[in-house]
């Protein structure tokens, strides 16, 4: 790895988060979740989105839900409870059983969005140690682990 590849790309923390970001091409080591259906969503101290393909995406800390055509709403997490769907907001409930029509990933900042016909579930990756994780069949991918790989080209 070259010395310049070891330095992280600059992140402008003062720039506003654009919830309609389309991101970068999804690298081959990350599954493109477009085409999967959201089967279940659970909320506690994180947001867990279970997909029909067997993948589970966990959004941490700065997660938002943005119904189609509306501004994103930051989710309020609940601590010291088991993950459950009884804590879901109406906006999250309407995402269940929706197909993921696109997945967006920001290479520089770690933003991740799952886009459905009803809106987006997304995270501003700039402010979290681990903004998201993906658990799949015999695989685990997280932003901190992925970020070094993505920045090394």
DSSP string, 62-88: SEEEEETTS--EEPPP--SS--BGGG-
Return the structure tokens found at 142. 């997280």
Whole-structure pTM value: 0.85
Of 10 and 70, the one with more pLDDT: 70
User: Residue 143's pLDDT is what?
Assistant: 82
Give the closest residue to 35 by CA, choosing from 94, 99, 97, 98.
Answer: 99
What is the C-alpha to C-alpha distance for residues 125 and 143, in angstroms, rounded to an integer? 8
Q: Is 131 helix (H, G, I), strand (E, B) or coil?
A: coil
pLDDT per residue over 31-47, tens digit each? 999 999 999 999 888 89
What is the C-alpha to C-alpha distance for residues 32 and 50, in angstroms, rounded to an integer? 14
pLDDT per residue over 100-141, tens digit each? 999 999 888 889 999 999 999 999 988 788 899 999 988 999
**DSSP state, 37?**
B
């Amino acid at each position: 790895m070259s010395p310049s590849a070891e330095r992280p790309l600059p992140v402008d923390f003062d720039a506003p988060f654009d919830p309609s970001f389309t991101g970068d091409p999804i690298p081959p080591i990350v599954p493109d979740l477009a085409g999967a259906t959201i089967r279940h969503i659970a909320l506690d101290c994180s947001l867990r989105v279970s997909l029909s393909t067997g993948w589970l995406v966990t959004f941490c800390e700065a997660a938002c839900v943005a119904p189609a055509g509306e501004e994103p709403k930051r989710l309020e997490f609940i601590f010291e409870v088991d993950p459950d769907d009884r804590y879901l907001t109406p906006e999250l409930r309407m995402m269940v059983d929706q197909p993921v029509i696109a997945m967006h990933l920001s290479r520089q900042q770690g933003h991740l969005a799952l886009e459905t016909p009803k809106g987006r579930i997304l995270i501003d990756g700039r402010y979290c140690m681990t903004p998201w994780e993906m658990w799949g069949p015999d695989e685990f991918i997280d932003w901190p682990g992925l970020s070094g790989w993505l920045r090394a080209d």
